[in-house]
Every structure is written in C-alpha cells, then in structure tokens.
Structure 1
Amino acid sequence: MNEPVDNRDNTAATSRLADAIRDVKNAFADRDDVVVDIREAQLTRLELLADDLKQVFADIPNDDERFDLAISSGSQPRLWIDSVAHVTMGRDRRTYRFLRDTRLGRVVLCESTDLSRVAEQVTRYIAGRMIERQRMLEGDVDLVRTDADEDDIVEDGETGGRTGGFLRGVGMVLLGGLVGAGLILLLASALGTGFSL
C-alpha cells in the first residue's frame, strides 16, 4: 500500500530552497553593489583629475576644437582629452593611466597614482599638440616629435606610408627571383645538363 507523503518533509525542502535562493540573491546584490561602488570610485577619481585640468582647458583657444574634457561612463569610465587620448583607471582602481591610440595600438603616455603627475603629463600633451598645430598652420613641414608620434613621422628622403613599404616589398621579391634564376642557371651549367631558359 501507498503511504501518505509527509508534508513536513516537503515544506522543509521548500524552505531550504527558498533560503538558498535568498542567499544567492543577496550574494548577487552584494557583488553588484561592489561593482557599482568600484565604478563610482573610478568616476570620482576621474572627476578630481578633470577638476585639476579645467583651467588648462579654459586656456585653450576657442578656434582649436580638437580637445574636449569629457567623462564617458560605462563599464570602464574614461576621461577624454581629445579623440585619441584618454585617462582611465588601472586594474588596482587607484592608478591613473593616460593612454593614446595610434595606428600600431594603444600607447601608455603616463601611469601613476599621483594625480598631479598625471595632470602635468596631460598638460604637456595638450601643449605639444597645440605647438604641432601651430607649426603646421605656419607651413612648417617638420612636426613636433614625441615618443608616441614616432610611428607617424617620415624622415627626409623616405617614401612614407603604405606605398613605400609595398614598393620595397615588390623590389625584394623581384631581387629574390633574379637571384634564384641565376642560381638555377649556375647549377644547371655546373651539372652539364644543358638546361636553358
């Protein structure tokens, strides 16, 4: 015969499951709170840096629209200096990382926990970009040379960009073909097979 199911066992299992669900929800909420706290701490640090740089941005001439002091939110908040340079926080959430995007990838211009040091480097970056622009407007073809710009600079007498690299590559292939054909002819004559092209 079938014995009746004890409702007390069923309620205890449901109670344990409800307790487990509540514990998991609390753990998720705690983790979400930590993530939100970290983002808010990053935003606060970037806002402090932005406050330090406000006077620098106020001194930029109105006709130079390349620079824009703006904080973007998201999973990784960033303080944008211009379209290619920004400051973000490092993995430890205390280190400022001043980065610039180049054609070859991202370059670290400064990395420090010292707010004033990062503000100084950003100020120097802005000054360098302004001098570079001024020299270009005056017709000076030699750009201001910075460590981050070395991949953009073409030395006198060199062919710049992709065209020069392509032509050098084609020349190397042709030279290799000529050397290879010469070696084949030399080997053929040495073996006396009478091989000819």
Structure 2
Amino acid sequence: MADAQNKIIGAEQARPMRLRDALRQARIEAADRTGVVVDLRDAEIARLEILNEALDPLFAEIPDGVDLFDRGLSQGDTPRLWIDVVAHVMMGRDKRIYRFVQDTRFGRIVIAESHDAAAMVDAITDYIARRLIEREHALTAATPVPMQPAVAEKPRLGGIGIFVLGFIAGALALFALALFAALRQV
C-alpha cells in the first residue's frame, strides 16, 4: 500500500517536461558528450547557444530605447557570445567552463567563470544592470549648454569693403611716395 501511495505522489510531483526544456537538456547532454570526443569547437558553439537562449528573458526586459547591448554569437577561430561591444562570453581551456570577460584599455579582465549557465546568466544580469546605471549617470551628468543672449554686433566691412579700403590706402601710399621723390629732386 505504501508503494502505491509513493507512486501516486511521484506521479503528481513529476510534471511533464516542456519541449523547450527537453531540447535544452538534450543540447546540454550533446555538448557534454561532444566536448569529450573530437569536435570541441562544435561543443563550444553549442554551449554558447545554450547560454544565448538562457539570456532571452533578460534581453527582453531591457528598455527599447537602450542600444548599449548588441548580443550575438560569432563563430570565428574562438567562438564568442557578445553581450556588448566590450564584453563577451567564451569557453575556457577545457571547453566546458564559461568565461565572461570584458576588454578594457588596460587589458582583458575576467568578470565571471562558471560551468553553470544559470550562474553566467546571473553574472551577465549584474553586468547589464551596472551598465544601465552608468548610462543613467552619464545622461544626468550631461548638463545642457546654457543659451547665451544674442548680442547685436557692429556691422563689419565685407570682403569687398576691405579690398576697397586696401586699394585706397595703397594709392595714397604710392602718391605720398611719388610726392616725396619729386620734392627730393628739386
């Protein structure tokens, strides 16, 4: 009788897995198996895709007007999941550990490392929150330049006026020089 009750309780507690959860679990298992076998690069990409899917709810919460973050998976020599221009997730040397790094002017710093995708989602959430706060501070610190009252300027001579003035001054100087030379010969 106790076995029957345990089976009933176990059936009630076991809820059907959603297809998305089952696919995620299958990808994790495949990535783990692939990481041990030959094709480590495919395992890296698969694990980064798993993390990318886990970040979907986080990026859905970012306000529409914020364009700081540009998430994407690059599949170069070293596959990376980019969070923004300076921060990305790559796989560690053993191809099973996630490494969240940020490029700074002083070099690359490691923000977080973990085997668990959920721990990486938490670290990326903290990073995004800090970046959003930095953005708010930058926007509030930028004070608008006060408008200066327009002062009526004196009218200036244009380009033609300066030319005419120079021509007259040159003619007077030439006349004065000719007069001086004529008086000197007499």
TM bracket (short chain): 0.5 to 0.7
Alignment of 1:121-132 (within 5 A): 121-132=123-134
Counterpart Cα distance in 1 of 2:52 and 2:142: 33
For the residue of structure 2 that corresponds to 1:107, the secondary structure is strand
Q: Which of 88, 108, 133 matches 1:106?
A: 108
Counterpart Cα distance in 1 of 2:113 and 2:106: 19
For the residue of structure 2 that corresponds to 1:79, the secondary structure is strand
Could you tell me the TM-score, scaled by structure 1's length? 0.52
Deviation at 1:110, TM superposition (A): 0.3
Deviation at 1:63, TM superposition (A): 1.5
Q: Which of 127, 135, 150 matches 2:137?
A: 135
> For residue 72 of structure 1, what is the aligned residue in structure 2?
74
Q: Which runs of 5+ in 2 are unaligned?
A: 1-36, 144-186
> For residue 4 of structure 1, what is the aligned residue in structure 2?
none
Q: How many residues align?
A: 107
Instruction: Describe the superposition over 1:97-149 as per-residue Cα deviations: whole angstroms up to 9, x where unpaired.
Output: 000000000000001111111110001000100011012111289xxxxxxxx
Alignment of 1:31-70 (within 5 A): 34=38, 37-70=39-72
Counterpart Cα distance in 1 of 2:53 and 2:74: 15
Largest Rg, 1 or 2: 2
Could you tell me the TM-score, scaled by structure 2's length? 0.55
> For residue 156 of structure 1, what is the aligned residue in structure 2?
none
Counterpart Cα distance in 1 of 2:131 and 2:48: 22
Q: Which has the higher contact order (CA 8 A, sep 6+)?
A: 2
Deviation at 1:71, TM superposition (A): 0.3
- Report the residue type matching 2:132 in the other structure: M
- Report the residue type matching 1:96 in the other structure: Y
Counterpart Cα distance in 1 of 2:67 and 2:142: 21
Counterpart Cα distance in 1 of 2:67 and 2:99: 24
Counterpart Cα distance in 2 of 1:109 and 1:100: 7
